Amino acid sequence: MIARRGLWAIALVQALACGTNNSNNPFIAPTGGGGAGSTITPSGTVAIALQSPPTPADGATLASNSDVPVSATVDIQGGTDFVDTSSVKVTVTPMGSTTAVTNGQLISTGSDLYTGTISLGKLPVGGYTLTVTAKSSGGAVGKATKDFTVDNGPIVTVLSPVAGQPYNGSLTIEIIADPGAYPPLASGGPTVTVGGMPVPLAPDVALNSYRATIAFDPATPPPAGVQVFPPLAGKQLLDVKATNANGVTTESQVIFTIDVVGPTIASTIPIPGEIVGGVVKISATITDDSGVLDSSVIAIIGDKNTPIFDLPLAPQGSGVYSTLFDTATLTPCQAPPSNTRCIVYPTVSFRASDSVGNQTVVGYEFSVDNIAPVADLDPPQMRGMRLGPTSYECSLLFDPLSVNQNVGDMPNDGCMVPQIFDLRARIEDDGNHAHGLKVVPIATVDPDNTSVYILDDTSQPLVVDSNGDGNCDQINPLLVPTIDPPTTSNQVLKIRLAGVPPAGFADFRPDNALPSTLTPGIPCVQGSSLGPPPLLCIFEQPTIAIGYADGLPAIWSVEPIEATFRCLGSQFDALANNISEGWACIAVGTADLAGNKSVSAPMRVYIQYDDAGGFCAAPPAGAGPPPTCTGTFDAGTNTAAVGACNARKFTGTEYYCAPGAC
């Protein structure tokens, strides 16, 4: 588009467009520019005036990377030409050079005014010329210039803090502020703020180096010269500004973190109150935004020994740290009747620090069970106990495994039995004991590791002492357990046992062996029931299946266990399992969920398929003495020998309260 100036220019165009003029004079042909090969003679000059402001004044100092506004008036003076609006441009050249380093277009904003912006980019320090040029319709060229200087400002380098890094307690700020090409820095040097609060800087030893130390919420009074800040935490902004002799300011910002919180410790193992035994994993998931210091992660377990157990936890990945710990290394615990002191409720504390020294400690108690269950195939009789009108009443004595009267009832040690007989045991888990302990923590019996073993070849031991302490501790390792009928002498039949749900009642009819009033040493008086208790399932079985520890089954039997006819379990068929007539050894192998294992004392029975001669009849005269069924095992020589070993049993008369009876 061509900009036209004045009404006379419009009239001239109109006249040129017509064949005749208004006075009817002959048409005068143009003298140039109307045909091929002709030229236009410029009419007038292009006048350009730079407007300051907003255009920087001549000799101004500008910062690199700045955007420079440019404003100019452009018109034609002394002629009839027009300004070619597309020709109005701005360029920047190094002073004394014609090579443009940046350029741009100015846009008409009405009348004679043209404006725009030109970016200096990353021009090096030095002198430059800003030039605005324009052309007329006739080809005349005009220009206007202003010289300026590019100043990159001071060079600011933040050495400390490091962007993104955490800090705790105190922080040393260290910067280098070089004034650059136009020294010196403005009076007072660089300025620094942290969290919007000013920090006085002091010159450091190195040239252009400055330093300050601040303390935020210090635990102890800081040294002299350290500025105390209010408590700070989380992400913080450090803002540094420096101005040179030209008044050009450089700003540098660093975001860092003030970390005053220790690592997060979660998913700890063992969990609070958990009952463990044997070798256990000590583990925790530990995380921290500042990074966990691996060497600081430890677990401490208290004991009477000195020093306490200090367990470094090794990183396993994904924030998990763990190690293994043998609870047997705590103060040794032996099964009753030993009076050795036992650790029952040790405390474990997990400790970890992050990379800036914040520490977290999590501590709590857990329970240790190093004592195996007690399993007994021939336990003593016991009494039930219930709350009567004025005191506790005791039941008649009863065998928890049998009514002890019918052929096929659960036998006692040394009895003769028929082809099929009851087979069950009293099994209760035990735990670490200590004086003053009201509740013994137990891991409970492991049903997957509780079975009865029947050995037909009684010339070899069924249960053995494997460590020479005189106690039977395992099934003979030389025997091969089988769930099928044994076919070789080294096989032992293994049958899984299951817990019988506690149910039923003892017989609380009066027992003249008990006092009618409270007597020292006896916790209850004779019962007051007028008749026997209801049957649990059939009359040939006990009327009660005892429990322990708030409802856990104490009676374990051969499966299946059914409510109607086999409420105390099924029976064992010797003939069906290829257990021949004659003496057989029977024992229970069990373990608790903490991995503590034990075996029962063996029960010896004489099997006679067709006629057992009544309940627990004596074996025939030619049967010979009962087999030993116990022995020793030497792991070094892998040999077993028949001999003596002791197994823990229930002893004395116990008193049992059914749930809700006491």
Beta bridge partners of 317: 320
Rounded-to-integer distance, Cα 315 and Cα 296, Å: 11
Residue 51 has pLDDT above 90, yes or no: yes
Cis peptide bond N-terminal to 222, omega within 30 = no
Rounded-to-integer distance, Cα 268 and Cα 282, Å: 8
Residue 195 Ramachandran class (φ > 0 left, ψ -120 to 50 alpha, else beta): left
Please give the share of the chain, as a percent, with pLDDT higher than 90.
73
Shortest CA distance to 578 belongs to which of 468, 464, 457?
Answer: 457
Decide if 88 contacts 47 (C-beta within 8 A): no
Beta bridge partners of 544: 504
| The pair of three-digit structure tokens given for residue 655, joined into one six-digit string | 């008193």
Decide if 150 contacts 246 (C-beta within 8 A): no
Residue 174 CB burial class (10 angstroms; 0-12, 13-18, ≥19): middle
Other CB atoms within 10 A of residue 574 CB: 23
Kindly report the length of the chain.
662
User: Which DSSP helix (H) or strand (E) runs through 8?
Assistant: helix 7-16
| The pair of three-digit structure tokens given for residue 493, joined into one six-digit string | 């039949």
Rounded-to-integer distance, Cα 330 and Cα 325, Å: 10
Read off the pLDDT of each residue in 155-182 and give the average, rounded to a whole number: 92
| The pair of three-digit structure tokens given for residue 353, joined into one six-digit string | 């620090």
| The pair of three-digit structure tokens given for residue 240, joined into one six-digit string | 């540094």
Rounded-to-integer distance, Cα 324 and Cα 429, Å: 24
Shortest CA distance to 76 belongs to which of 90, 87, 64, 91?
Answer: 87
Query: What is the pairing mode between strands 309-312 and 359-365?
Result: unpaired
For the CA atoms of 221, 226, 231, 232, the dihedral, rounded to the nearest 10 degrees, stands at: -150
Do the two domains 155-258 and 264-368 of this chain adopt the same fold? yes
Q: Determine the straight-line distance between the first and last CA of the chain, rounded to whole angstroms.
A: 111
Q: Domain 264-368 belongs to what topology?
A: Immunoglobulin-like (2.60.40)
Considering only residues 217 and 255, tell me which one the structure prediction assigns the higher pLDDT.
255
Helices then strands, each counted (H, E), the chain: 1, 53
Rounded-to-integer distance, Cα 628 and Cα 648, Å: 16
Rounded-to-integer distance, Cα 129 and Cα 146, Å: 6
Amino acid (one-letter) located at 479: L
Decide if 376 contacts 556 (C-beta within 8 A): no
Read off the pLDDT of each residue in 209-230 and give the average, rounded to a whole number: 81
| pLDDT tens column, 436-469 | 999 999 999 999 999 999 999 999 999 999 999 9
Q: Catalogue the long-range contacts made by 39-42 (C-beta closer than 8 Å, 24 or more residues apart).
A: 40/137, 40/138, 40/139, 41/138, 42/79, 42/81, 42/136, 42/138, 42/139, 42/140
Query: How does the average pLDDT of the chain come out, rounded?
Result: 89
Q: What are phi and psi of 622, to 5 degrees?
A: -85, 5
Q: Domain 7-32+43-151 belongs to what topology?
A: Immunoglobulin-like (2.60.40)
| pLDDT tens column, 354-386 | 999 999 999 999 999 999 999 999 999 999 999
Residue 402 has pLDDT above 70, yes or no: yes
* CATH superfamily, domain at 155-258: Immunoglobulins (2.60.40.10)
Decide if 189 contacts 255 (C-beta within 8 A): no
| pLDDT tens column, 417-431 | 999 999 999 999 999
Cis peptide bond N-terminal to 389, omega within 30 = no
Residue 88 CB burial class (10 angstroms; 0-12, 13-18, ≥19): buried
The predicted pLDDT at position 23 comes to 36
The distance from CA 118 to its chain's CA centroid, rounded to whole angstroms, is 56
Decide if 602 contacts 560 (C-beta within 8 A): no
Residue 67 has, within 13 A of its CA and on its CB side, a CA count of 3
Residue 647 has pLDDT above 80, yes or no: yes
Read off the pLDDT of each residue in 162-182 and give the average, rounded to a whole number: 91
Residue 195 has pLDDT above 80, yes or no: yes
User: How do the domains of the chain map onto residue ranges?
Assistant: 7-32+43-151, 155-258, 264-368
| pLDDT tens column, 70-118 | 999 999 999 889 899 999 999 999 999 999 999 999 999 888 999 999 9
pTM of the model: 0.71
The predicted pLDDT at position 218 comes to 63
Rounded-to-integer distance, Cα 275 and Cα 301, Å: 15
pLDDT tier, 305 (very low <50, low <70, confident <90, very high otherwise): low
The predicted pLDDT at position 27 comes to 35
The predicted pLDDT at position 533 comes to 95
Decide if 350 contacts 362 (C-beta within 8 A): yes
Decide if 646 contacts 470 (C-beta within 8 A): yes
Rounded-to-integer distance, Cα 217 and Cα 235, Å: 16
Decide if 369 contacts 431 (C-beta within 8 A): yes
Rounded-to-integer distance, Cα 540 and Cα 29, Å: 145
Residue 205 has pLDDT above 70, yes or no: yes
Query: What is the pairing mode between strands 480-482 and 491-499?
Result: parallel
Rounded-to-integer distance, Cα 401 and Cα 423, Å: 9
Other CB atoms within 10 A of residue 61 CB: 16
